[in-house]
Amino acid sequence: MKFSKAEIEALIAASPRTTATLSKLVLSVKYQVRPGGSTSKMSIEELAASILELGVLQNLVVVKGPRGTFEVCAGGRRLEALALLLTTGQIPDNYPVPILILPADKALMASLSENLHHVAMHAADEFLAFSRLLEEGKSLETVAAAFGVTPLVVKRRMKLASVSPKLMDLFRKDQIPLDCLMVLASVDDHERQERAWIGLPEWNRRPDYLRQLLTGGDIESDRDPVAKYVTLKAYEKAGGATRRDLFCDDDKKAYLLDVALLDQLASDKLQKKAKQVAAEGWKWVDVRPRYSRDEYLNHGELRKTRREPDEQEAAALASIEASVDALQVRMEALEDAETEDSQDAYEGLDREMTALQMQAKAIEDELSVWPADLMGKAGCVVHVAQNGTVAVKYGLIRPDDRSDMAQAARQAGEGAQADLVSLPSPKTRPVHSDKLMRRLTAHRVAAVQAELLARPDVALVAITAHLAQKLLLDHGYHYQRDQALELSATDSQAALRSAAEDIEGSAAWLQMDRERRAWMEQMPQEAPKVFGWLLVQEQAVVLQLLTFLVASTVTGIYGAEPTSQSTDALALALGLDMRRWWTASGASYLNHVSKSQVLSVVTEAADINAAAPLASLKKDAVVAGAEQAIVGSGWLPPCLRTVAVNTDAQGDAQEDASQDGAQAEGAAADLAA
């Protein structure tokens, strides 16, 4: 039973309002619907601080008790907070408390009505209210004291209040959980916050995954090897800028924002080790905060050789070998025994064997040395290892020193070169670097996705073909899951971002992004509701959504020049013309290839007469001239061309295109020479 609004108003109007001293108030056992002690202590402490600052703003509902007391039937939290202030000596026992006295027969109903009708303040309003208090000029400490919380709590609530208004609205609608909102608040950029949330798969909206997306490129003081080596204290002492996550319990953790300063501090600190290594007799010593294998890919490597042991080392090795042989005999005798004692004895002998083998290895390590007569033609890289300690990569041979090293190794003795020196096989430099090829093919993938949006028929064929190949032609074992269907799909958005830093500015990406945002706004945000929502949509809507989802999964990024691409069939079906989506320019292509290749492009896109005047210029001038020469030509690198296959005529066309490209490249090489 509930009071009507009129009944509540009449009851309140007829009830006397007055004050009573705190010592006269007791919590009612009979009329209180919320038992004492059911509220968190932190909530009571915050309420107590508020009462101390502002007084009791809302009267307690009471009934008259024996001997002049009043039993509190609504307002138990306020009474508990007052009792806390009394216990700590912050208010006296005669502290006046406002009360509303009700008849006993209405008390239980009043207590129930107050608790049922009470609507707690939404957390979003709480965050904004704290922020407004500080905007009014109140200090952090004053606000914290007024509500019985620490300054850190106030800072955190202010930080939450600064989240993008769009995301705060979603939080109010319970579409973003608080733990995810805290992660979003860890960065200040609203656009970055919104992009991270929209790009988060609905099935994986976990705070740890969201944090990974937001901070993936940041340097963490407690995880990055170079940061651990330099130390956060040294970095901050040098004036390095940091960003701290207010919601991280580890106050020693920070994100380092000045990469150049961090690397410089690491390089300076590594110099001491570098001097020690150089004193060993190496030709050169490089210092690198981070060792990149690709940077030294064309370097050869010097191998260690074994020196002859001295008398003491030889005796130690002989003794260890004799002891190992004796242990093996004893262990073989115990192998067939099945008693517990024999098993224990066998394990003990095995431990002795391991210890002896470690001693032998230590001696052999001492006998393994760098050949002194070859060290002067090789070098080392002093760097920071993955565990944050100093490491040295020894014995690298620069390409310029290969001939001298090979000659020195031959002079060291017959066959010594093969034993002591490892030289990489000479390789022809590819036209396109791994990084450029990944960028180009990422743009092709994005274009295929955008083209696919307008072709539901092709999308339907693509997903059907994929399932047919998977379920009818792949006879592997599939285990059961607690789902109606067993399907797997991955959005290729992150892969495209990683492969091409300029992808987000491309027309294809922007078109896909607009489509994604439109569907996110249109669809229900709770996963269980999606199926029911789709059931009532027109078939065209369902098909268009399927088309977008299929397009989102298209991938096909390559590091090396591919002979064919996984997107070829789709490109042909869509009639993909990359000239609509990509244009060769200095920034997109020409700056990233050799001068010879730039001249080859101009020869193919225009003619040899346009390329000839550029041959004698420096690279920057060649690129500038090439941009003007090929403007409007629609030239595409081979990996972006849609080549017809599977028919004789198409094969001839592909062969003709390849021959044309080869002739242009040859002419450009002649010009460059």
| pLDDT at residue 270 in the model | 95
| pLDDT at residue 180 in the model | 86
Q: How confident is the model at residue 656 (pLDDT cuts 50, 70, 90)?
A: very low
Q: pLDDT tens, 486-501?
A: 666 778 888 898 889 8
Q: Which residues pair with 290 in a beta bridge?
A: 384
| pLDDT at residue 322 in the model | 92
Given a cut of 70, whether residue 479 has pLDDT beyond it is no
- Euclidean distance between CA atoms 635 and 601, whole angstroms: 8
| pLDDT at residue 665 in the model | 45
Highest mean pLDDT among 129-133, 331-335, 509-513: 509-513
- Token pair of 628 as six digits: 């003007």
Residues 6+ apart with CB under 8 A from 54: 146
The more confidently predicted of residues 422 and 381 is 381
In percent, the amount of the chain with pLDDT more than 70 equals: 78
Closest CA to 154 of 142, 145, 144: 144
| pLDDT at residue 161 in the model | 82
Sheet holding 255-256, edge to edge: 219-220, 255-256, 242-243
Q: pLDDT tens, 256-295?
A: 888 889 999 999 999 999 999 999 999 999 999 988 877 8
- Mean pLDDT value across residues 462-476: 73
Q: What's this model's pTM, rounded to 2 decimal places?
A: 0.45
Given a cut of 70, whether residue 513 has pLDDT beyond it is yes
Q: pLDDT tens, 70-109?
A: 888 877 888 888 998 998 889 998 899 888 887 776 665 5
| pLDDT at residue 255 in the model | 81
Strands 305-306, 379-384: pairing is: unpaired
Q: In this structure, are residues 342 and 334 in contact, taking their beta carbons and an 8 Å threshold?
A: yes
Q: CA angle at residue 67 from 61 to 68, to 5 degrees?
A: 40
The more confidently predicted of residues 415 and 533 is 533
The more confidently predicted of residues 477 and 59 is 59
The more confidently predicted of residues 541 and 244 is 541
Lowest mean pLDDT among 112-121, 371-380, 562-571, 619-628: 112-121
* Alpha carbon distance, N-terminus to C-terminus of the chain: 98
| pLDDT at residue 663 in the model | 46
Given a cut of 80, whether residue 250 has pLDDT beyond it is no
| pLDDT at residue 58 in the model | 76
Highest mean pLDDT among 183-197, 407-421, 658-672: 183-197
**Residue given tokens 């990406």 in the structure block:** 509
- φ/ψ region of 90 (left if φ > 0, alpha if ψ in -120 to 50, else beta) reads alpha
Given a cut of 70, whether residue 144 has pLDDT beyond it is no
| pLDDT at residue 330 in the model | 86
Q: pLDDT tens, 30-62?
A: 655 455 544 444 467 777 877 887 777 778 888
| pLDDT at residue 338 in the model | 67
| pLDDT at residue 143 in the model | 67
| pLDDT at residue 584 in the model | 93
For residue 374, give Cα distances in angstroms to 400, 405, 421: 15, 7, 9
What is the overall mean pLDDT for the chain?
Answer: 80
Closest CA to 168 of 180, 156, 152: 180
- Euclidean distance between CA atoms 271 and 260, whole angstroms: 17
Given a cut of 90, whether residue 394 has pLDDT beyond it is yes
